Structure 1
Amino acid sequence: MNATQSLGGHNHVFLGASHDRNQRRTMIVVAITALTMMAEIVAGYAYGSMALLADGFHMSTHAGALLVAALAYRFARRHAHDPAFTFGTGKVGDLAAFASAVILGMIALLIAVDAAWRLTSPVEINFRPAIAVAVIGLVVNLVSAALLHESDAHGHSHAPHAYDHDHGDHDDHDHHHHHHHAHGAARDHNLRAAYLHVVADAATSVLAIAALLAGQLLNWVWLDPAVGILGAVLIASWSIQLMRDSGRILVDTVPDPKLAAAMRATIERDGSRVTDLHLWRVGPGHNAAVISLVSANPASPETYRHRLSNLGRLSHVTVEVERARPG
């Protein structure tokens, strides 16, 4: 006998607790970035400033990545009830995060190549407008980072790591989904990707300002491209980590081994034996599980699901129970 727990009408809405809020924040940052980008490009052409043009076109890549994040939120919400998505659209943000991480890695590579070329073939730097552009970029990115970090913190403020939260009876179909939204423990990688893009830009601006000031005072022209390579390495490390984290979710690795172990212990405390257990993430703060067990005196699947409800963070559970053969 078996039973599945995403009950009622099988409503598979596994979006993050702050999904809509994060979408609004990301769209605001997209608008700020796009306006700054256009202003820099127009001013660059108007005043013949290569520094303004370069920063404007560089900012366009971040604007594009941020737009991917915003559109991912929109798509996930629009198709949240689409039956074509077996376990909902909660992982769309992770797909967008992986794409953003790739873009971030390409940006790091381009910065490194350009910096290496400038080290071997130094170019004359007009320090004043270059510093002004870097300061403008830093201010814009700090504002954007503050917007995204505030939203990110909101999503993490209730992240539990212990399994002592009773989120209610999972057999109560009407209350199944909302209690997990409030206590989602998993990170929103789509928001994290957007945040890393603006932080990466802010970091390069800080490094650029320091290098340009030192170059202006000490005439160390080589310092600017050298710092550029340092910034590229820093951005690349963020990109790789984000690809790893979002990639693990996309290929359905076990999101929380401690939770899996706690599930097994909870099921087996009455002498039952778990023969198969699958745990994967279906959205920020939402995990799905399929469990097969054998018992000489099996309880109903609903009984096992009720036990698991005390662990929290399980939004969709299927339990298959088999009676052990005598002898």
Structure 2
Amino acid sequence: MHTHSLDLWRHSHVFLGSEHHGNERRVWLVVALTTVTMVAEIVAGSMFGSVALTADGWHMGTHAAALSISGLAYAFARHQAGNPRYSFGTGKFGELAGYTSAVLLALAAIGIAYQAFGRFLDPVEIHYAEAMLVAVVGLVVNLASAWLLGHDHAHHPGDAEGHVHSHPHHADGNRRAAFAHVIADALTSALAIFALLAASLFGWAWIDPLVGVIGAALIAVWSFALIRATASVLLDAMPSDEIARAVRTEIERGDDRVVDLHLWQLGPGHLGAIVSIVSHTPQPVSEYRSRLEKIRGLSHITVEVQQCG
């Protein structure tokens, strides 16, 4: 059999999400916006002698570095998508970046909590005007960033084509992690504004570290949820019991029975499936594959058939 004939039976292993290019572009826009804000705050802080502005500028720098992980992950996955070294493509590289970003977010929560408890024990003088300016600038930048990352342009068709399953889209862990970063920062800024107003109006100096502890707790909850979600993809956990039931329903007709089933996520919106079938009267593999094509989201299907004695 000639090589060009074999090519007809080969298939692509590019399992990037349908919004991969758009997500990559939006992440780099957020990195650029954050970097510009960082430079502006550091320059303004140096010119006007504001320690608060300078400190927040450097904080924005660490924020831009963390978001750059997401951007680089998208770029790497795109450039290496056709590399045969990656057996099932590079669709899960974003989950690895998302997991890393979630760990960094958890460390940031620990740092905020540590600083807040330190303020309880050793209160410091707060310059309300400068601190309020920093918090407002941070909130505006992070809300703009959240809009960029949270604005979904993807179009997900319904069941008009007759597919038996209508929920194939699995969240992009990389984009979720980047979105969580900017939302966490926006939350921190909003809570800071509330605390500063309360402290300046009513003299409640204790409310500033208290709000810091609350913010750290909320960020920790988000980060651990992200760690759990991305880790389950990296460890090839079963992505959906509903899809597993749909596979069994489509295959198990007559005396055909599924004896082993593996489902895992290859990338955002792409699932892989290995199905082992036993039957007294086995059908051709193409028949079983045609049944599974009704389940939207199965992008790589391997079928093994054994005849029962």
TM-score where L is the length of structure 2: 0.93
Change (3 A) 1:197 1:73: same
**Does the CA-based 8 Å contact 2:110-2:216 persist in structure 1?**
yes
1:248 aligned to 2:225? no
Aligned to 1:143: 144
Alpha-carbon distance in structure 2 between the residues aligned to 1:217 and 1:159: 52
Distance 1:159 1:118 in 2: 52
- Per-residue deviation, residues 169-222 of structure 1 (Å, max 9, x unmatched): xxxxxxxxxxx9xx8511111111111111111011000001001111112111
- Find out whether 1:128 has 2:129 as its counterpart: yes
CA–CA separation in structure 2 for the residues paired with 1:154 and 1:184 = 16
Map of 2:28 onto structure 1? 27
1:100 to partner: Cα distance: 0.3
Give the structure, 1 or 2, with the largest relative contact order (CA under 8 Å, sep 6 or more).
1
Secondary structure at the aligned position of 2:86 is classed as coil
Q: Is the 8 A contact 2:28 2:71 kept in 1?
A: yes
How many residue pairs align between the two structures? 303
Determine the structure 1 residue equivalent to 2:279: 295
Q: What pairs up with 1:228-267 in 2 under 5 angstroms?
A: 228-267=212-251
Q: 1:165 aligns with which of 159, 163, 174?
A: 163
Task: Describe the superposition over 1:115-138 as per-residue Cα deviations: whole angstroms up to 9, x where unpaired.
Answer: 110111000000001101100111
Q: Go from structure 1 to structure 2 and tell me whether the alpha carbon gap of 1:212 and 1:250 turns closer, same or farther (over 3 Å shift).
A: same
Q: How large is the Cα RMSD of the aligned pairs? A: 2.1
2:46 maps to which residue?
Answer: 45
Task: Give, in whole Å, the separation in 2 of the partners of 1:228 and 1:162.
Answer: 49
Confirm or deny: 8 A CA contact 1:166 1:309 kept in the other structure: no
The answer as to whether partners of 2:272 and 2:300 remain within 8 angstroms in 1 is: yes
Q: Tell me: CA distance 1:160–1:109, structure 2 relative to 1, closer, same or farther (3 Å).
A: farther
C-alpha distance in structure 1 between counterparts of 2:41 and 2:295, whole Å: 52
Q: 2:184 aligns with which of 193, 200, 214?
A: 200
Shift of 1:7: 7.4
Q: Deviations over 1:244-268 (max 9, x none)?
A: 0000000000001110111012111
Separation in 2 of the partners of 1:159 and 1:95?
A: 28
2:195 — aligned with what? 211
How far does the alpha carbon of each residue in 1:237-294 deviate from its partner, in whole angstroms, 9 at most, with x for none?
Answer: 1000000000000000000111011101211122111111100000000000111111
> Residues 96 and 211 (structure 1 numbering): CA distance in 2 closer, same or farther, change over 3 Å?
same
In the alignment, structure 1 segments of 5+ residues that lack a partner are 1-5, 168-179
Correspondence 1:273 to 2:292: no
Could you tell me which amino acid in structure 1 is paired with residue 101 of structure 2? S
Q: Does 1:78 pair with 2:79?
A: yes
Q: Does the 8 A contact of 1:17 with 1:184 survive in 2? A: no
Which amino acid in the other structure matches residue 71 of structure 1? L
1:159 positional shift: 7.7
- What SS class does the counterpart of residue 153 from structure 2 fall into? helix
Change (3 A) 1:103 1:161: farther
Q: Aligned partners of 1:27, 1:115: CA distance in 2, in Å?
A: 32
Name the residue aligned to 1:176. Answer: none
In the superposition, relative to structure 1, how do residues 277 and 305 fare at CA in structure 2: closer, same or farther (>3 Å)?
A: same
CA contact (8 A) 2:164 2:246 kept: no
Deviation at 1:8, TM superposition (A): 3.9
Gaps of 5+ in 2: 1-6
Contact 1:159 1:184 in 2 (8 A): no
Q: Which amino acid aligns with 1:146?
A: W
SS of the residue 1:306 aligns to: helix
**Please, what TM-score do these two structures have when normalized by structure 1?**
0.88
CA distance in structure 2 between the aligned counterparts of 1:265 and 1:162, rounded to whole angstroms: 20
| Contact 2:168 2:296 survives alignment (8 Å) | no
Contact 1:276-1:292 within 8 A present in 2 as well: yes
- Give the drift of 1:75: 0.4
Q: What is the aligned-residue identity percentage?
A: 52
Q: Is the 8 Å Cα contact of residues 109 and 219 (structure 2) preserved in structure 1?
A: yes
Q: 1:96 to 1:294 in 2, by over 3 A?
A: same
Change (3 A) 1:99 1:238: same
